[in-house]
Amino acid sequence: MPSMENEGSDVSRAEEIKNQANEAFKAHRYGQAIDLYTQAIELNSQNAVYWANRSLAHTKLEEYGSAIQDATKAIEVDPKYSKGYYRRGAAYLAMGKFKEALKDFQQVKRICPNDPDATKKLKECEKAVMKLKFEEAISVPESERRSVADSIDYRTIKVEPQYLGSKIEGDVVTLDFVKKMMDDFKNQKCLHKRYAFQIVLQMREMLQALPSLVDINVPDGSLLTVCGDVHGQFYDLINIFELNGLPSEENPYLFNGDFVDRGSFSVEVILTLFAFKCMCPSAIYLARGNHESKSMNKIYGFEGEVRSKLSETFVELFAEVFCYLPLAHVINQKVFVVHGGLFSVDGVKLSDIRAIDRFCEPPEEGLMCELLWSDPQPYPGRGPSKRGVGLSFGADVTRRFLQDNNLDLVVRSHEVKDEGYEIEHDGKLITVFSAPNYCDQMGNKGAFIRFEAPDLKPNIVTFSAVPHPDVKPMAYANNFLRMFQ
């Protein structure tokens, strides 16, 4: 039996470590904070505060599955600890699970009936659930749904004489147009709806014709640049083009999903990427990320931003076009590029990915879900996802997938990294993330990878964030979520 003295010293040591963890948290070093809270928990697992604090740090890293587990543990340790319910409610909310969040906020209100903050959050959550129920009630079944594109004829939209922004002459998107549009965006000017419709509708047709897995051929001596998440950080996207050249047939890019949400210049990012694709289809390849989906866009700002800068019709149109984005790419039959990661079963072949019917919102399980949501883990085998969707997979899973498909390397995105990238799984897996100082607070670098054929050795370039106009990340996000920022 441990002596009383030992127990006492463990408790006070745990408290010291918790204070260090709190300092790391305040400095936005969330990974370090999690490690320290873990040490505190190992010394004293009966303190609900440690679990709730670690839950919040997981939330900051978008590890909502782990956040929910820790908050649940805090509640088990102390069923009257309101912050346990509060943290769990916030994590459910971030996953779009409004009904589960509502139950937790009702519990917070029961424990703290006079807390004005709890009252306000509960009201907002009730509104969100009511809205959801209403939308479910009026929604048209998938089988009866008509494409919103059928109701749009952009040619009939008049361009007012006072509009001085960029214009598409006729049907062809030119480099001059794209450059002028990007300049206008830099100066926070909008693109006329007529031309925005023209670009997105042209994009829809182009993407619809592509397979779910796209093969990219890079000729010997030529380059392909792979970028990770951009997340609405338009000014950092412009910086990538300044560092590495504009997309063209000779300088092609692959953007690996999560173009939108969180950053408040998502409309500018998506129209720029789409316009380059319209200008020259082989200049830019685009993959779907987990944020190219209705449920994420509703919460993390893209839907609100589109409403504000364009119109309600565009909300529907983008949702539809996002369903047409390919799910993965293979470069020269050697490098597999996907937004999230690998699978819950062995033996998945490239032909299985090609065969996925991707024209839908991402399901909550199966190959498509795992491609968009999974993450690597440092130990072998498979584990539950820290996000609560998809799974974690080890180096052995990566190795088998590469062997089964005669590939050399997996490149994925989906996770913020301090240096903008991370090489894992014995050098067989690289994460690349291209949104520096993510959400204006993570302090990370961004990165992109240049692959030159024939050897396709990854040449990683890192870069820092550049200034942007004073519009905060999540400025257009769901009201309710903004309360937790």
Give catalytic residues, as residue numbers: 291
Interatomic CA distance for residues 190 and 201, integer angstroms: 18
Separation of first and last alpha carbons in the chain: 45
Task: Indicate the angle between helix axes 98-111 and 116-138, nearest 10 degrees.
Answer: 150
- Cβ proximity of 101 and 122 under 8 Å: no
If DSSP codes are grouped into helix, strand and coil, which group holds residue 96?
coil
| Cα angle value 168/228/291 (rounded, 5°) | 75
What DSSP character marks residue 392? E
Interatomic CA distance for residues 364 and 345, integer angstroms: 16
Interatomic CA distance for residues 227 and 330, integer angstroms: 14
Number of neighbours of residue 219 by Cβ within 10 angstroms: 9
- Cβ proximity of 75 and 274 under 8 Å: no
Contacts of residue 365, defined as CB under 8 A and 6 or more positions apart, other chains included, come to none
Cis peptide bond prior to 454, omega within 30° of 0: yes
What is the DSSP pairing of strand 328-331 with strand 429-432? unpaired
E-strand spans in 349-389?
A: 375-376, 382-384
**Beta partners for 115?**
none
Q: How far is CA 96 from CA 89, 90, 260, 312, 350, in A?
A: 11, 10, 17, 21, 31
Backbone angles phi, psi at 286, to 5 degrees: -130, 130
What is the DSSP pairing of strand 284-286 with strand 382-384? unpaired
Burial grade of 46 (CB within 10 A; 0-12, 13-18, 19 or more): exposed
Q: How far is CA 314 from CA 153, 192, 286, in A?
A: 13, 13, 19
- Cβ proximity of 382 and 398 under 8 Å: no
**Beta partners for 336?**
330, 410
What is the DSSP pairing of strand 409-412 with strand 328-331? unpaired
Interatomic CA distance for residues 304 and 301, integer angstroms: 5
- Cβ proximity of 348 and 410 under 8 Å: no
| Cα angle value 450/452/454 (rounded, 5°) | 150
